[in-house]
Structure 1
Amino acid sequence: MPWEVEAPHCRNPILAQLISHALSHPVDQGSNP
């Protein structure tokens, strides 16, 4: 799939966790610690 090429977080566990956390807990109010 084409989007796999533009998904560096696929092989970056740290970035993947950040994205997963962001998706689970979106911080739109900018009040993240």
Structure 2
Amino acid sequence: MSNYRRNFQTGATYFFTVNLLQRKNNDLLVRH
């Protein structure tokens, strides 16, 4: 069970990071 939770947290962190990068890139594209 703990192993599953750890994998879930890693996936959530990865998803959050990708979301943040996409938002930043979209902001740069909109500015230019």
**TM-score of the superposed pair, with normalisation by structure 2:** 0.43
Q: Choose between structure 1 and 2: higher helix proportion.
A: 2
Larger Rg: 2
> Relative contact order, CA 8 A, sep 6+: which one is greater?
1
**TM-score of the superposed pair, with normalisation by structure 1:** 0.42
